[in-house]
Amino acid sequence: MRREAHSKLMKQINEGNFVFTGELEPVKTTKLDEVIEGARILKDHVVAINITDNPTAFGYMNALVPSYMIQREAGVEAVYQMTTRDRNRLGLISDVLAAGALGIKNILALTGDHTTVGDTPQAKPVFDLDSATFVYMLRKMMDEGVDLNNNQIEDPPKFSIGIAAAPNADPLEPELLKIKRKVDLGIDFIQTQCVYSAEQAQNFLEAASFLKTPILIGIAPFKSISMMDWMIKFVPGIKVPKEIEEILRKAKKIGGKQAVYEANVEIFGEMLKEIRKTTTAAGIHTMAIGFEWIVPKIIERAGL
């Protein structure tokens, strides 16, 4: 079922445009300059930008404020990421209403990484809802204009709802069945964790085709070799082909940082081109935290 699109992002997807989205990470700061600057860099190249919510359980600035600010200051639509890790259902309702009041158009409903993998591992994990029950609550709020206990909401919010998927999950079937639950509840789009080859994207898109839901394929270029090593070691489901690893390591050795950037543009530009040509992806979600400027270069290299 295709629902009415409440965001520019969903309108473009529904119109069949191949879309690009970006991602920005408000960090442990009270400054908004960097996020707004990042949004300005991405603005002309993406239709919307995700603002992360305490990613990998690091205690950062609340994602709602930068989501609002990039819309107001940079004029680019936000995808407000919300995890169920740090707030119970009361806290989630509050923030969803606040997001509606501030004109947020997209919510990415996430469970969130466990507290123990973050920078404050002693914290009590909440997980009152999970991403599925959160989607259920969002739909109730939007479609019926009530909260989980059927209390009326004055002027209910309207969002397009996205969820995350792990394209390299092993085993994959429970992952797909989990996504199916949320598709049945009513979501608008799926955004995947990063893939490192068109083949990984293709395999997942084929396996997930029964979901009949637009899927944005996630890509995350490597800012540095140490970041690549960290991702391979700590991020579940990351499968970096040996070939890519070697090209980047060689680039670093020969030409340093600049050569790594250039190799990234080459590798990911080619990958995007391939994904665009050979798969049914609805678009690409780019995650280039701290070097957003590389996104336009990759898109340009892909000829898209």
Q: How far apart are CA 165 and CA 168, in angstroms?
A: 9
Q: How far apart are CA 259 and CA 255, in angstroms?
A: 5
257, amino acid identity:
K
Indicate the residue among 29 and 116 with the shorter CB distance to other proteins.
Answer: 116
Nearest distance from residue 184's CB to other proteins, in Å? 7
Indicate the residue among 205 and 238 with the shorter CB distance to other proteins.
Answer: 238
127 in contact with other proteins (CB under 8 A): yes
2 in contact with other proteins (CB under 8 A): no
Residues 88-117 that bind other proteins (CB under 8 A): 89, 111, 113-114, 116-117
Indicate the residue among 101 and 146 with the shorter CB distance to other proteins.
Answer: 146
Residues 26-85 that bind other proteins (CB under 8 A): 85
Indicate the residue among 40 and 180 with the shorter CB distance to other proteins.
Answer: 180
Residues in binding contact with other proteins, number by CB under 8 A: 36
Nearest distance from residue 16's CB to other proteins, in Å? 28
Can you read off the two tokens belonging to residue 43? 């603005």
Buried b (16+ CB within 10 A) or exposed e, 23-37: bbbbbeeeebebbbe
- Please classify residue 15 by burial: count the beta carbons closer than 10 Å to its beta carbon, then call 0-12 exposed, 13-18 middle and 19+ buried: exposed
Indicate the residue among 64 and 132 with the shorter CB distance to other proteins.
Answer: 132
Q: For other proteins, what does the binding mask look like between residues 262 and 301, x meaning CB under 8 A? A: ----------------------------------------
* Residue from the set 33, 44, 154, 170 that interacts with other proteins by CB under 8 A: 170
Indicate the residue among 127 and 261 with the shorter CB distance to other proteins.
Answer: 127
Q: How many CA atoms lie within 13 A of 112 on its CB side?
A: 26
Q: For other proteins, what does the binding mask look like between residues 226 and 245, x meaning CB under 8 A? A: ----------xx--------
Residues 173-232 that bind other proteins (CB under 8 A): 173-175, 177-178, 180-181, 184-185, 193
What sign has the CA pseudo-torsion 33, 104, 135, 125?
positive
* Residue from the set 37, 130, 245, 270 that interacts with other proteins by CB under 8 A: 130
Indicate the residue among 38 and 218 with the shorter CB distance to other proteins.
Answer: 218
Q: Which residues contribute to the site for other proteins (CB under 8 A)?
A: 85, 89, 111, 113-114, 116-117, 125, 127-133, 136-137, 148, 164-166, 169-171, 173-175, 177-178, 180-181, 184-185, 193, 236-237
